[in-house]
């Protein structure tokens, strides 16, 4: 209890100057017209992919890292690689960012009839760079951990520190999820499932970090979760055994459910696709929603800026407390979603490896 009180007091002390300074600014400065917040742009700007990595805005000027744009024209304009800051001024080498319509915020080129055509776009976007950074981070962490085992006799020594944490997590995933859900030949699938878990987990965590190199909404992007779900889909269906395929094409149900209208096989085949689809949507929606929630809570501070010092100050405190709470919740969600994705993948793999019941 006393801890809570100390933290609250600390927050008030921390925020008091901010409240005061805003109270001073508001009547004198004529900057209130700038306070108007474009909620759509604020929310979607933070969660969508973009061609540059926006870090902050100082005095109305955006500070961002320009990223390479790689496009291959569909109308015979050839392949182009250029820095994304060229796009700020508008069209560059025939390519521009659409501001509205079907391809809003995407690079488009003009077709012969003047319509907007989407070229093959392999740009290193914010999400791609984020993926790269997080992947390098993950690979380094895991390989450093593996190096410890290469240099020590794990049977004689127990790792401490970071290696110990990694060992704990790897062991937890392997023992609690993989062994239990996959079954006897779990060793074959354990590298994939462990990679999936840690990949999702680190991307979830980095998504919560609000500044570079975190903050990219990677696992809240449908393309990323689609690829992850496809990996699970292919793992399940490529290594599925005879019993798995028999269960789909000729399940143990009364014959009239299979012939002449293959009702059950159709349902089973649909089920083959709904499983990875649910994996994709679950991860995507949970992480995206988490980002929206945090952004929404923080938006309260800016939305109430016009309502006077007292209201704004009070709600700022509320927003910060809520924001801390949401961040803690998102930490939990980051773990839970990685856990759930891995567990369900393991369950689907386990189902595809099930032996026929002898009875």
Partner 1 sequence: MSLITPDFGLLVWMTLIFGIVFFVLAKWGFPMITDSVQKRADRINESIQKAREAEERLRNLSSEQDALIEKARKEQAAILKEAAASRDALIEQAKVQARDEAAKILEQAQTRITAEKESALRDVRKEVALLSVAVAEKILRKDLNSDKGHDELIGKLVDEVSSSRDLNS
Looking up tokens 């901010």, which residue turns up? 18
- CA distance linking residue 208 with residue 285, whole number of Å: 15
CB nearer partner 1, residue 105 or residue 351:
105
Find the shortest distance in angstroms from Cβ 104 to partner 1. 6
Find the shortest distance in angstroms from Cβ 209 to partner 1. 19
- Dihedral in degrees, nearest 10, Cα atoms 351, 226, 176, 349: 20
Distances from the Cα of 351 to the Cαs of 244, 247, 273, 302, in angstroms?
7, 10, 14, 50
CB nearer partner 1, residue 74 or residue 355:
74
CB nearer partner 1, residue 218 or residue 344:
218
H/E stretch holding 322 reads helix 309-352
Q: At what angle do helices 126-151 and 222-238 cross, to 10 degrees?
A: 50
Find the shortest distance in angstroms from Cβ 99 to partner 1. 13
Find the shortest distance in angstroms from Cβ 211 to partner 1. 22
- The widest CA-to-CA distance across the chain, in whole angstroms, is 84
Distances from the Cα of 15 to the Cαs of 21, 22, 298, 318, in angstroms?
10, 11, 14, 11
* DSSP 8-state class, residue 63: E
Find the shortest distance in angstroms from Cβ 331 to partner 1. 22
Residues that bind partner 1 (CB under 8 A): 44, 47-49, 70, 104-106, 120-125, 127-128, 131-132, 135, 138-139, 142-143, 145-146, 149-150, 154-155, 158, 166-167, 170-171, 174, 187, 190-192, 194-195, 198-199, 221-224, 226-228, 231, 288
CB nearer partner 1, residue 169 or residue 320:
169
CB nearer partner 1, residue 220 or residue 313:
220
- CA distance linking residue 108 with residue 85, whole number of Å: 16
β pairing state of 120-121 and 68-72: antiparallel
Find the shortest distance in angstroms from Cβ 274 to partner 1. 17
CB nearer partner 1, residue 57 or residue 171:
171
């Amino acid at each position: 209890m006393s801890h809570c009180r100390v933290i609250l007091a600390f927050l008030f002390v921390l925020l008091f100057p901010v409240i005061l300074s805003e109270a001073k600014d508001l009547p004198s400065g004529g900057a209130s017209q700038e306070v108007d917040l474009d909620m759509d742009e604020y929310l979607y700007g933070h969660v969508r992919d973009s061609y540059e990595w926006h870090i902050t805005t100082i005095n109305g000027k955006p500070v961002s890292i320009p990223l390479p744009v790689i496009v291959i024209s569909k109308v015979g304009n050839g392949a182009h690689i250029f820095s994304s800051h060229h796009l700020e001024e508008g069209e560059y080498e025939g390519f521009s960012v659409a501001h509205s319509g079907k391809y809003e915020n995407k690079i488009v080129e003009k077709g012969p009839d003047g319509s907007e055509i989407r070229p093959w776009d392999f740009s290193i976007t914010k999400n791609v760079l984020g993926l790269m950074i997080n992947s390098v981070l993950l690979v380094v962490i895991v390989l450093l951990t593996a190096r410890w085992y290469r240099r020590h006799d794990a049977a004689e020594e127990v790792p401490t520190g970071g290696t110990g944490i990694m060992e704990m997590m790897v062991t937890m995933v392997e023992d609690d999820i993989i062994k239990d859900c996959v079954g006897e030949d779990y060793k074959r699938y354990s590298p994939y499932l462990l990679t999936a878990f840690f990949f999702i987990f680190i991307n979830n965590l980095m998504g919560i970090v609000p500044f570079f190199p975190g903050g990219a909404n990677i696992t809240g992007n449908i393309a990323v979760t689609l690829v992850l779900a496809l990996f699970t889909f292919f793992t399940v269906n490529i290594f599925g055994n005879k019993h798995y395929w028999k269960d789909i094409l000729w399940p143990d149900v009364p014959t009239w459910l299979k012939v002449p209208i293959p009702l059950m096989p159709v349902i089973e085949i649909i089920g083959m696709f709904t499983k990875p689809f649910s994996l994709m949507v679950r991860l995507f929606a949970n992480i995206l929603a988490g980002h929206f929630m945090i952004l929404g809570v923080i938006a309260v501070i800016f939305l109430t800026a016009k309502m006077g010092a007292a209201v704004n100050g009070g709600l700022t405190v509320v927003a910060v407390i809520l924001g801390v709470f949401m961040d803690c919740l998102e930490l939990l969600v980051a773990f839970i979603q990685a856990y759930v994705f891995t567990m369900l993948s393991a369950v689907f793999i386990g189902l595809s490896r099930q032996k026929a019941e002898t009875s």
